[in-house]
Structure 1
Amino acid sequence: MPRYAPLNTSLFVENRKRLYSELHSCSLLVLNSNDIMPTNADGSMRFIQNSDLFYLTGIDQEESILLMFPDFPNEDFREILFLRETNEEIAIWEGHKYTKEEAREVSGIQTVLWLSQFERIFSMLMAEANHVYLNANEHIRADVKVETRDARFIKWCQQQYPLHRYERLAPHLYHLRAVKSEEEVKVMQEACNITEKGFRRVLQFVKPGVMEYEIEAEYLHEFVRNRSRGFAYEPIVASGKNACVLHYIANSEMCKEGDLLLMDVGAEYGNYNADMTRTIPVSGKFTDRQKQVYNAVLKVQREAMKMLRPGNVVKDYQKEVEKIMESELIGLGLLDKHDVKNQNPKQPLLKKYFMHGTSHHLGLDVHDVGNVYRIFEPGMVFTVEPGIYIREEDIGIRLENNVVIREDGIHDLMANIPIEAEEIEALMN
């Protein structure tokens, strides 16, 4: 069973209710769990649940299927959860699996059946359904090379039932998942709190001579002992020149005196994710130049937070952030204001030092689902992560917090995680 404390069942009940209003009448919806992915020989990766299935059920187990048919005449079949039937041998080799009663308590779904009954029940429901909603990974940055359980089901379903009207489920779920409930925010706050514990531990550990992977191990120790499954994503622990590599994950080099250390790490908790970046001086004290660049990044981050307001959109927000960053880069002597004035607007000069976006949705997925053209709404959770990367000076600084958009501003889920240069120095010394 999951190591995290049980999440509130009302979260999943309410998520299903919200989805009902998005569907055509007389519709059947099908969602499959993720597969357990193989490695080599008889090895397998750790199971990670399909985010959409978890969002609607809270069920954290392989070979699970959710059927929803809100208009079905018999109320007992409007929500059905199918689970892998366990036995003594499975319990010996793999451990405990959900009982029907446990699955009811977690999901709030009353009709829980074994997978062996799926095809018979599905056939009965399909006889009454006009529209069938099937799921796929439609994240705009997804690069899906492995056939998923959902993809295999789509093939089987359309072959068995070719005359039904098939619909895409992903746009509806992505629309709903982009706005977090207060219950979801509580779980994300816990992920951020665990991340804070890891960071404070590392501040006491870092000194010249330690290896990047040793720092990674300190984070992992603190995350796991606080009921996290571990890192929300592959951690970046990048010292010196490595801090200028945006997706550096080797974490294999020694931290040297005078270097900066950029750490992009986050804890997972209850399948929800934190995503923090902090940059600290390996020696415990920033040089004047390092602090100058650090404070420029911090200023951009704080100005960006002010613009995460209901009514704004990503494109306009990013453009305004880049104007502020441009000014800071001129102040740091990295850009010339006359060159900036005459630059090609399609190839802005600041991209040499700040080449990525400032914010992305955060939630059950680290780069969470949500339409980039959608106007910001209360309840959306975003990262705020400006950075300046000066390769010729071996300076890479990024600062990242996670914030919830509110009617009147933002709520910073990482407000308690040290970020001021002076506070970082004080805690390291």
Structure 2
Amino acid sequence: MSGPPSLIGKKYPAKQHARNVYNYLVKKNESTKNTSFFVSGEDLELYLYCDQTKPIRQNRYFFYLSGCDIPGSHVLYNTAKDHLTLYLPNIDYEDVMWSGLPLSLEDAAKKFDADEIKYASELKTDLELANKDSTKIFTTDINKFNTKYSTFLDAGDKDFFYALDESRLIKDWYELELMRHAAKITDKCHLAVMSALPIETNETHIHAEFMYHALRQGSKYQSYDPICCSGTSCSTLHYIKNDEEITPEKRSVLIDAGAEWSCYASDVTRCFPVNGEWAKEHLEIYNAVLKMQQVTMSLIKPGASWDEIHLAAHKVLIEEFLKLGIFKSEFTVEEIFKSKVSARFFPHGLGHLLGMDTHDVGGYPNYEDPDPLLQYLRLRRNLEKGMVLTDEPGIYFSPFLLEDTLKDPARVKYINKDVLDKYWYIGGVRIEDDLVITEDGFENLTGITSDPEEISKIVKAGLAKGTEGFHNVV
């Protein structure tokens, strides 16, 4: 299926990406001026003792410098000559009977943004020539796909990785169009899941419904393994079991899933009630998380500190818990904030960078940070125009997370356990949207509603159809 209409006749700007990397590299380390870049893509591999190939996930650094998803390809950028060469795998004529003819060099030249397209048979000679023009040929690592060329390559240079990651951090117009397309596919998949409760009696059904609608729209890959949980399982942040029965007493569902388009990710989380009616406590927590997201979104703009925005979400959580009585009213917001106890209810970061990877490069997290409020924050820098990130506050009621807190007199004193006990069944609530930082704020790529009343209407409309309203064999 075709992608965004705006990209028809356009090429993924691989050569400009290579130039961006070079500019960052030289700015970081001037001694790298006379260098070249070489990266190998992933190749098809057989399962052990089997003639079936493993699923392939293209090397993201290779794709960034080539825009090529063909297994067994390589890319070389000669910075001295500003010359980008894409190498396609040699034709295996015996395989043509089984797999068909590969893309020709002529057709590849129309598709990919490279100065030259060659076959891999010419690669060794070209690397020898590049060595004469360059003091070094940087690559990310030596692996099974490039080991035969290892004598020419300088792997693992920190400045090269820095330049790659800083380049990928800021998305250009073409990348944003790919991400907008992925986001639109994901919107429809989430709508489909909310609308199909009559046939979603197991978490696996939710998983299947999302992937079915993604595939129908041409997205053959997910950005990550979908998280489809119900009831108390919603307190597990990266729950991928996805096979428990969805019974009425569970009441709540959480799905965190995003379709991928042309190696670019989306990442969206939505929650809804199993029967379309929000239980009192479920809606209270949902609205608290929604407010956390609304407040943090109001602070998002270029130059803003993501650390400070994340901490603002914690303060909203505390304010809402004081209103609900989960935190005791004898304590102030500031006292509870300083105690760090909110980290056990909101244990992850507010969001992360998004791009070719779900948790994209360039965020520079610090998992050794002694502050529990910041330890798992994946983005630790000020916001810049062109970044894409998620805003995903959450509130969780996890016995595992809260066990030590409820036994610690210094922290449990802030919590009214009798009130807390009313909320365990929810498991957790998370609301996640994908945002592009703009000149003076952000563009929200996520269109699927997060309004609780609208969600309730969607779920009820689906339930009203009954099982006969859906085409399903099992």
TM-score by length of 1: 0.88
How large is the RMSD of aligned CA atoms in angstroms?
2.6
Say whether 1:215 aligns with 2:179: no
Aligned to 2:442: 410
- Matched residues in 2 for 1:243 and 1:360: separation? 20
Q: Offset of 1:314 from its aligned partner?
A: 2.8
- Matched residues in 2 for 1:411 and 1:29: separation? 34
Of residues 243-252 and 196-205 in structure 1, the stretch that sits farther from structure 2 once superposed is 196-205
Which AA in structure 2 matches 1:33? G
SS at match of 2:303: coil
Deviations 1:341-383 (A, max 9, x none): 55584x6111221110011000111111113343211110001
Any residues of structure 2 matched to 1:278-357 within 5 Å, and which?
278-337=270-329, 338=331, 341-342=334-335, 345=338, 348-357=340-349
Q: Offset of 1:185 from its aligned partner?
A: 1.2
Say whether 1:428 aligns with 2:459: yes
- Change in Cα spacing, 1:389 to 1:67, as seen in structure 2 (3 Å) is same
Any residues of structure 2 matched to 1:99-114 within 5 Å, and which?
99-114=104-119
Any residues of structure 2 matched to 1:14-53 within 5 Å, and which?
14-22=16-24, 23=26, 24-42=32-50, 43-53=52-62
- Matched residues in 2 for 1:330 and 1:273: separation? 37
Say whether 1:397 aligns with 2:441: no
- Which of 119, 128, 131 does residue 133 from structure 2 map onto? 128
Aligned to 2:15: 13
Aligned to 1:378: 385
Contact 1:297 1:398 (C-alpha < 8 Å) held by counterparts: yes
Q: Offset of 1:172 from its aligned partner?
A: 0.5
Which AA in structure 2 matches 1:105? K
Contact 1:213 1:237 (C-alpha < 8 Å) held by counterparts: yes
- Matched residues in 2 for 1:295 and 1:343: separation? 21
SS at match of 2:13: helix
Of residues 40-49 and 182-191 in structure 1, the stretch that sits farther from structure 2 once superposed is 40-49
Seq. identity, % = 27
Aligned to 2:124: 119
Aligned to 2:178: 187
Q: Offset of 1:89 from its aligned partner?
A: 2.1
Aligned to 2:99: 94
Of residues 320-329 and 257-266 in structure 1, the stretch that sits farther from structure 2 once superposed is 320-329
- Change in Cα spacing, 1:287 to 1:108, as seen in structure 2 (3 Å) is same
- Change in Cα spacing, 1:200 to 1:378, as seen in structure 2 (3 Å) is same
- Change in Cα spacing, 1:354 to 1:37, as seen in structure 2 (3 Å) is farther
Contact 1:31 1:135 (C-alpha < 8 Å) held by counterparts: yes
- Change in Cα spacing, 1:221 to 1:80, as seen in structure 2 (3 Å) is same
Q: Offset of 1:336 from its aligned partner?
A: 2.6
Q: Offset of 1:327 from its aligned partner?
A: 1.5
Any residues of structure 2 matched to 1:355-366 within 5 Å, and which?
355-366=347-358
- Which of 188, 200, 210 does residue 197 from structure 1 map onto? 188
Say whether 1:231 aligns with 2:219: no
SS at match of 1:185: helix
- Matched residues in 2 for 1:264 and 1:70: separation? 41
- Change in Cα spacing, 1:161 to 1:59, as seen in structure 2 (3 Å) is closer
Which AA in structure 2 matches 1:409? G
- Matched residues in 1 for 2:353 and 2:203: separation? 28
SS at match of 1:44: coil
Aligned to 1:62: 71
- Matched residues in 2 for 1:207 and 1:166: separation? 54
- Matched residues in 2 for 1:46 and 1:171: separation? 29
Which AA in structure 2 matches 1:210? T
Q: Offset of 1:287 from its aligned partner?
A: 1.1
Q: Offset of 1:235 from its aligned partner?
A: 0.5
SS at match of 1:361: coil
What are the ranges of 5 or more consecutive residues in structure 2 without an aligned counterpart?
27-31, 365-379, 399-420, 461-474
Q: Offset of 1:407 from its aligned partner?
A: 1.4
- Change in Cα spacing, 1:167 to 1:333, as seen in structure 2 (3 Å) is closer
Contact 1:58 1:106 (C-alpha < 8 Å) held by counterparts: no
- Matched residues in 2 for 1:48 and 1:426: separation? 38
- Change in Cα spacing, 1:69 to 1:327, as seen in structure 2 (3 Å) is same
- Change in Cα spacing, 1:39 to 1:386, as seen in structure 2 (3 Å) is farther
Deviations 1:219-257 (A, max 9, x none): 111100101013211011100111111111111111121
Say whether 1:264 aligns with 2:256: yes
Deviations 1:16-59 (A, max 9, x none): 33233234322111111124355442243211111111112111
- Change in Cα spacing, 1:311 to 1:37, as seen in structure 2 (3 Å) is farther
- Matched residues in 1 for 2:193 and 2:158: separation? 48
Which AA in structure 2 matches 1:292? E
- Matched residues in 1 for 2:433 and 2:46: separation? 34
Aligned to 1:243: 234
- Change in Cα spacing, 1:318 to 1:81, as seen in structure 2 (3 Å) is same
